[in-house]
Amino acid sequence: LTVSKDLGESVDALERAVQVVKAQNYDRPQAEMLLQKMSATVPGMPKVLAAMLQEKSRSLRGRGADSQPGAPEVSAYESQSGGVQALLESLLKKFKGELAAVEEDEANQAHEFALVELHLSDTITKDTADREEKAAAKGQRAADAAKAKGELGETKKELAADQKLQ
């Protein structure tokens, strides 16, 4: 149960990490990066940044993504997280496999326990019934023996009386 819980938490953490890495796996254009930095310090720059972003989104909607004339944008930072993402995804796959194996093993152990418990309770019930049956038979034999001893005693008295008469 502890192993299953640990692996479940690891799988959840890896799924969140893969989502974050996928969300951050894009190149950051240089002009946007500069304007974002400047908007924090230079007055009026937030408006310029907002206008540039609006214009960029309008031009992309108007032309389509593949027909952009002019020079391509230079990236300030090209994402290198593809390898990290692949590593996280392989770890996620591995942990999911281990979690499935642990859960299957735990289910098998629980089933085996239930079978052993059922067998033991059936054995106890049968042995109890056998003991009660034997105790009843022993009691009956003891009663029969007492009755027979009583009859034997009477028979001996009668025999003795009969022998005296002869």
Q: pTM value? A: 0.48
Q: Are 81 and 25 in contact (CB under 8 A)?
A: yes
CA 80 to chain CA mean position, Å: 34
132: which residues sit within 8 A by CB, 6+ positions away? none
- Measure Cα distances from 165 to 50, 144, 152, 155, 162 in Å: 140, 31, 20, 15, 5
Residue 155, pLDDT score: 94
55 vs 9, residue with greater confidence: 9
Q: Are 88 and 17 in contact (CB under 8 A)?
A: yes
How does pLDDT run across 22-53, given as a tens digit for each residue? 776 655 565 566 667 767 776 666 666 666 67
Residue from 68, 44, 39 nearest 56 by CA: 68
Residue from 25, 20, 48, 27 nearest 36 by CA: 48
**Segments in the chain forming alpha helices (H):** 2-24, 30-41, 45-63, 82-165
Residue 28, pLDDT score: 57
Distance (Å, whole) CA 74 – CA 48: 19
Residue 113, pLDDT score: 97
Residue with tokens 């642990």: 102
How does pLDDT run across 81-117, given as a tens digit for each residue? 567 677 778 888 888 998 999 999 999 999 999 999 9
3-state SS of 9-54 is HHHHHHHHHHHHHHHHCCCEEHHHHHHHHHHHHCCCHHHHHHHHHH
Q: Are 35 and 49 in contact (CB under 8 A)?
A: yes
